[in-house]
C-alpha cells in the first residue's frame, strides 16, 4: 500500500513537455528570427566572406590591427555609458581614459597606447546593463545584417 502511494506521489511530480503553443508564446518572433538568420547566412556567404578574403589579401596585418583598434575606439562611448548606467564608476573612468588617450596619442584610435600603459580594454553592452537593473530575459529579435559576436 505504501509503495503504491509513493508511486502516485512521484508520478504527480512529473510534468508533460510544453505544448507548441506554449513554446510559441515564449518566442513570438521565432519565424521572423529564422527568416533573418537565413538572410544573414546568405549575406555572409555571398558578400561578407568574399569581401573579408579580399581585405586580408590587400591590407597588411599592421593595417588590419589599426582598423581593429579604430573600430574598438568607436565603441568606447557606448561602453562608457553602460559602465556608468551599471554604477561601475571605476570601469567608466578607465573607459573614459582609454577613449581620451587612444583618440589623441593613438591618432584617432588607430594605435592603442592605453593598453601599453596598463588601461586594459573591456566590453559592456545594454543587455548587461538591463541585467544589472534586474530586467528578466525575454524574446529577442534577429535583425538583418546583424552579426553574432
Tens digits of residue pLDDT in 79-134: 999 999 999 999 999 999 999 999 999 999 999 999 999 999 999 999 999 999 99
CA distance 98 to 114: 5
Contacts of 139 (CB under 8 A, 6+ apart): 26, 27, 28, 29
Q: What phi, psi does 83 have (nearest 5°)?
A: -60, -45
146 — pLDDT class (breaks 50, 70, 90)? confident
Cβ atoms of residues 82 and 125 within 8 Å: yes
Full-model pTM: 0.74
More reliable by pLDDT, 41 or 20: 41
Contacts of 87 (CB under 8 A, 6+ apart): 132
Q: Which candidate, 142, 53, 69, 57, places its Cα nearest to that of 102?
A: 69
CA distance 5 to 100: 71
Cβ atoms of residues 73 and 102 within 8 Å: yes
Amino acid at each position: 500500500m505504501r509503495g503504491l502511494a509513493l508511486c502516485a506521489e512521484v508520478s504527480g511530480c512529473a510534468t508533460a513537455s510544453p505544448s507548441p503553443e506554449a513554446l510559441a508564446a515564449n518566442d513570438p518572433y521565432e519565424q521572423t528570427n529564422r527568416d533573418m538568420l537565413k538572410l544573414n547566412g546568405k549575406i555572409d556567404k555571398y558578400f561578407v566572406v568574399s569581401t573579408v578574403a579580399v581585405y586580408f589579401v590587400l591590407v597588411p596585418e599592421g593595417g588590419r590591427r589599426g582598423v581593429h583598434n579604430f573600430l574598438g575606439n568607436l565603441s568606447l562611448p557606448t561602453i562608457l555609458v553602460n559602465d556608468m548606467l551599471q554604477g561601475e564608476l571605476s570601469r567608466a573612468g578607465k573607459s573614459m581614459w582609454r577613449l581620451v588617450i587612444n583618440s589623441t596619442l593613438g591618432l584617432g584610435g588607430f594605435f592603442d597606447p592605453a593598453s601599453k600603459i596598463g588601461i586594459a580594454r573591456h566590453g559592456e553592452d545594454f543587455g548587461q546593463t538591463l541585467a544589472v537593473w534586474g530586467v528578466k530575459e525575454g524574446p529577442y529579435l534577429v535583425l538583418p545584417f546583424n552579426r553574432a559576436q
